[in-house]
Amino acid sequence: MNIQEFKKAGHWPTLLAAFLYFDIGFMAWTSLGPLVVYITKAMNLSVDDKFTLVAIPVLSGALLRIPMGILSDAIGAKKTGILAQAIVMAGAAVVAMFGLPTYLSVELFGVVLGLGGASFSVALPQASRWYPPQYQGLVMGIAGAGNVGVVLDTLLAPTIAVNWGWQAVFGALLIPMALILAYYIVAAKDAPGARQPVSMASYAALTKDPDSRWFMFFYFITFGGFSGLANALPLYFTVQYHLSGVTAGLLVALIVAFGSCFRPVGGWMADRVGGIRALSILFAVVVTSFVLIAFMPEGAKAPDAAGWTLLAMPAFTWLPVLLFCAGVLALGMGNGSVFQLIPLRFRQDVGLMTGLVGCAGGIGGYFLARTLGLAKGMTGSFGPGFLVFAGLAVLGFLGLAMVKARWRTTWGAVSGARV
């Protein structure tokens, strides 16, 4: 690929602004995951209740993506992004000052954080509309790689919480949020051309197309798996392997970095070999990883209540970490592959499809987090939850086999790119 041609093909300041906006939005969206152990310390909650809390922002972000998409098409992506960012910043400021004293207050804050996850419906179509078909995989991968924000969450939040209290995390979060909002206001531009007015009826009409439902299902698996694990793994490692919050955060940062950083690679791979082939390979990796994880035994108890430190934890713990790295890498690349295909099939409805598919992906994340919590509560093991999600990836693999011939001989044949 010629970098100079790529830069001339669209508007790279908007692409960068979209990436940064989604990055900080995703960072806010997933902030409860590494902090729930500290926030709920005095609440005496069950493991299932804690998994419910980390799942609430995921569900909120999923449900808000369609309204955000509608608003983005009505008043423009830039104005929508600025408004949403301001609301999340206000919520973070209130929590930094007054805390979260009750279970209900944590739930309500989780709903506000959902706006950070809904930034997906603004950032991706805003970037996509500037670029031609042959760059869609790469562009959507770059914009979508903003989910790397979760790496910073899991890496830094537990350490800040231990040393200065968990409320300080949200105070610190306000600094990059303000800086990125300032850059977004200056650099981001909505693509030229008239916006098509959309409504809930527009979304309902689009769901009647079977291809849109397939894309929703595939993203339910790929983004649902990634976002669900990003929120649930810090708690999972403290429960399953008895790690300290800081150690769990460090390991989860390593794991989710693979999914975040390799999302553009998934889009690039799909551009080169076709999104269908790329997704088929990646689903196979997801199935293998999740099945093996499901049968991993519980880790040894830590010598004290603080949990294992990184240097002292049993060497066996690195095996599930490596399996998660492989699975999350495949999920992250799968996100990029799905969004290589969507603009080729629904070029005139990228905003609508981003809202629909993004909503499905967020619901997938909620489903995974809740399934893990329910599995632990009902069976005493997380294994059945991972097996359920592996089964969905199997169905995704079979679904691709069903649609590939039709896709390649119809809209794929005239798309101007590999399908």
Q: Residue 339 in contact with residue 143, Cβ under 8 Å? A: no
What confidence score (pLDDT) does residue 166 get? Answer: 95
For the chain, percent of residues with pLDDT exceeding 90:
58
What confidence score (pLDDT) does residue 3 get? Answer: 63
∠ at Cα 82 (197, 128), nearest 5°? 55
pLDDT greater than 90 at residue 232: yes
Q: Residue 76 in contact with residue 190, Cβ under 8 Å? A: yes
Gap between the Cα atoms of 389 and 393, Å rounded: 7
Gap between the Cα atoms of 414 and 410, Å rounded: 7
Q: Report phi then psi at 131, rounded to 5.
A: -125, 150
Is residue 413 a part of any domain in this protein?
no
Is residue 3 a part of any domain in this protein?
no
Contacts of 47 (CB under 8 A, 6+ apart): 235, 239, 373, 376, 377
**What percent helix, strand, coil does the chain show, rounded to 5?**
80, 0, 20
Nearest in space to 206 (alpha carbons), one of 412, 72, 61, 348: 348
Using 50, 70 and 90 to split pLDDT, how confident is the model at 239? very high
pLDDT greater than 80 at residue 192: no
Is residue 7 a part of any domain in this protein?
no
What confidence score (pLDDT) does residue 81 get? Answer: 93
pLDDT of 278-298, one tens digit each? 999 999 999 999 999 999 999
What confidence score (pLDDT) does residue 174 get? Answer: 96
pLDDT of 122-138, one tens digit each? 888 888 888 877 777 77
Residue where the block lists tokens 């993004």: 358
Which domain covers residue 351, as residue numbers? Answer: 13-188+199-405
What confidence score (pLDDT) does residue 387 get? Answer: 97
Is residue 30 a part of any domain in this protein?
yes
Joined tokens for residue 25: 């939005």
Q: Residue 175 in contact with residue 96, Cβ under 8 Å? A: no
Q: Report phi then psi at 220, rounded to 5.
A: -55, -40
Highest mean pLDDT among 260-264, 400-404, 414-418: 400-404
Residue type, 33: G
Q: Provide the CATH number for the domain around residue 256.
A: 1.20.1250.20
pLDDT greater than 80 at residue 363: yes
What confidence score (pLDDT) does residue 129 get? Answer: 81
pLDDT greater than 70 at residue 194: no
| Total domain count, the chain | 1
To 10 degrees, the CA torsion angle through 409, 223, 146, 24?
150
Q: Residue 396 in contact with residue 279, Cβ under 8 Å? A: yes
Q: What is the mean pLDDT of the chain?
A: 89
From residue 133, give the alpha-carbon distance in Å to each of 76, 200, 312, 372.
22, 27, 50, 38
pLDDT of 214-229, one tens digit each? 999 999 999 999 989 9
Identify the residue with better confidence: 23 or 261: 23
Lowest-pLDDT range of 265-269, 398-402, 412-416? 412-416
Using 50, 70 and 90 to split pLDDT, how confident is the model at 119? confident
Q: Report phi then psi at 308, rounded to 5.
A: -65, 140
Q: What is the largest CA-CA distance in the chain?
A: 63
pLDDT greater than 60 at residue 2: no
Count of C-beta atoms within a 10 Å radius of residue 384 = 15
Is residue 410 a part of any domain in this protein?
no
pLDDT greater than 70 at residue 197: no
Using 50, 70 and 90 to split pLDDT, how confident is the model at 267? confident
Is residue 415 a part of any domain in this protein?
no
Contacts of 363 (CB under 8 A, 6+ apart): 59, 62, 63, 220, 224
Q: Supply the DSSP string of 32-88, one letter for each residue.
A: HHHHHHHHTTTT---HHHHHHHHHHHHHHHHHHHHHHHHHHHHH-HHHHHHHHHHHH
Is residue 168 a part of any domain in this protein?
yes
Gap between the Cα atoms of 193 and 234, Å rounded: 44
Q: Supply the DSSP string of 326-377, one letter for each residue.
A: HHHHHHHHHHHHHHHHHHHH-GGGHHHHHHHHHHHHHHHHHHHHHHHHHHHH
Q: Residue 358 in contact with residue 128, Cβ under 8 Å? A: no
Return the sign of the alpha-carbon dihedral for residues 205, 209, 213, 219. Answer: negative
What confidence score (pLDDT) does residue 65 get? Answer: 85
> What mean pLDDT is predicted for residues 365-388?
95
Is residue 412 a part of any domain in this protein?
no
What confidence score (pLDDT) does residue 7 get? Answer: 65
pLDDT of 322-358, one tens digit each? 999 999 999 999 988 998 898 888 877 776 787 788 8
Gap between the Cα atoms of 350 and 73, Å rounded: 11
Q: Residue 147 in contact with residue 228, Cβ under 8 Å? A: no
